[in-house]
């Protein structure tokens, strides 16, 4: 049987793509720190490295993919503008990246998007349309608006350029772990929604540290990847469940990101909202950083099963810090 190759943009990035994305972003993004606490290590019985990606531009890893996508556009195409759909972090990232190039941006966000994420997308000059995603399909809406206005849709995860940008985080992590004297990480835990960060990180980590296990973390009720890996078929989440992890509630991974996960990801575990709130508090008390719920999911998984740490070196990706003040106070018990 003859198989037709997927279009270039729907193929996984390779290590050359990742290095090129890192070089193109030099001076435009933050090389976010990897934090380590002697006290935490003693509590857990191993070495825990926390990649503080919430200190990235726009407060999340999404800036990496958005910038790489826009870097690869022609000036003429950028001038017509870009459009994106997002619950918040991708919207902010696309708005910020567009502003760097003086390009118009339109972002479609759900009515439930955190107020701070909506406000910051607008801060970067984007036009924001908020709609009820239970009624309006954001993908179809964005495609229609893109065709009407001549804009380019910047996908949140299902694109080689987006994944190559996200993968620069994994490249940095391996470099930083080596600098800290960790010859080989035993595992890396990454929150998963559409799978962009997970897929990009997994490719980078296995490209530069093949023996490291990559484990996904999903919110309770949004475990499509765990079920998909178990069955070998890409499944979706049914409507109904809710989670405070607004950045991790996609209906499913993409075809591309799921295929990468099948090759590179060991398994996927779930965390509930209370565990995530406790992880937000723990990150503040022990590392003095602020995390949003989706950004705290990987840490929550470790705290919920500390036996994973015994005698091991494990990294968690703290992927974002865009949390509303009221929810942060709740996490701290205020």
Residue 101 · residue 124 · CB < 8 Å: no
Residue 220 in 3-state DSSP?
A: coil
| Beta-bridge partner residues of 153 | 83
Catalytically active residues are 62, 319
Across the range 221-239, mean pLDDT stands at 96
Identify which of 267, 239, 271, 264 has the alpha carbon closest to the alpha carbon of residue 110: 239
The two tokens of residue 80 are 């017509």
pTM of the predicted structure, to 2 decimals: 0.95
Across the range 131-156, mean pLDDT stands at 93
Q: Please say if the pLDDT value at position 58 is more than 60.
A: yes
pLDDT in tens, 272-307: 999 999 999 999 999 999 999 999 999 999 999 999
Cβ neighbours around 79 below 10 Å, total: 13
pLDDT band of 4, cuts 50, 70, 90: low
Residue 1 has a pLDDT of 46
- Across the chain, the runs of DSSP E, i.e. the strands, are 34-35, 47-52, 82-85, 105-110, 127-131, 152-153, 187-191, 213-219, 267-271, 313-318
- Tell me the domains of the chain and their CATH numbers: 12-61+160-331 (3.40.50.1100), 63-153 (3.40.50.1100)
Residue 334 has a pLDDT of 64
pLDDT in tens, 34-48: 999 999 999 999 999
| Beta-bridge partner residues of 60 | 320
């Amino acid at each position: 049987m003859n198989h037709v190759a997927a279009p270039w943009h729907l193929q996984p990035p390779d290590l050359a793509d990742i290095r090129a994305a890192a070089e193109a972003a030099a001076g435009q993004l933050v090389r976010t720190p990897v934090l380590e606490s002697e006290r935490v290590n003693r509590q857990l019985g191993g070495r825990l490295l926390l990649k503080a990606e919430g200190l990235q531009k726009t407060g999340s890893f999404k800036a990496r993919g958005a910038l790489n996508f826009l870097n690869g556009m022609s000036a003429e195409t950028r001038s017509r503008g870009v459009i994106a759909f997002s619950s918040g972090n991708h919207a902010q990232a696309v708005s910020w990246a567009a502003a760097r190039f003086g390009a118009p941006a339109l972002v479609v966000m759900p009515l439930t998007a955190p107020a701070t994420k909506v406000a910051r997308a607008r801060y970067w000059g984007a036009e924001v349309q908020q709609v009820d995603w239970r009624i309006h399909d954001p993908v179809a809406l964005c495609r229609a608006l893109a065709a009407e206005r001549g804009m380019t849709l910047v996908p949140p995860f299902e694109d080689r350029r987006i994944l190559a940008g996200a993968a620069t985080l994994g490249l940095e992590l391996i470099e930083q772990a080596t600098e800290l004297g960790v010859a080989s990480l035993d595992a890396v835990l990454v929150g998963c929604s559409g799978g962009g960060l997970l897929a990009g990180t997994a490719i980078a980590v296995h490209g530069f540290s093949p023996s490291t296990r990559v484990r996904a973390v999903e919110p309770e009720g949004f475990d499509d990847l765990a079920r998909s890996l178990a069955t070998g078929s890409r499944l979706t989440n049914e409507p109904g469940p809710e989670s405070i992890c607004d950045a991790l509630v996609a209906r499913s991974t993409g075809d591309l990101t799921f295929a990468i996960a099948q090759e590179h990801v060991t398994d996927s575990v779930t965390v509930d909202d209370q565990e995530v709130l406790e992880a937000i508090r723990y990150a503040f008390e022990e590392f003095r950083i602020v995390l949003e719920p989706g950004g705290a999911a990987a840490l929550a998984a470790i705290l919920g099963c500390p036996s994973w740490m015994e005698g091991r070196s494990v990294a968690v990706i703290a992927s974002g810090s865009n949390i509303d003040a009221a929810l942060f106070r709740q996490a701290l018990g205020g």
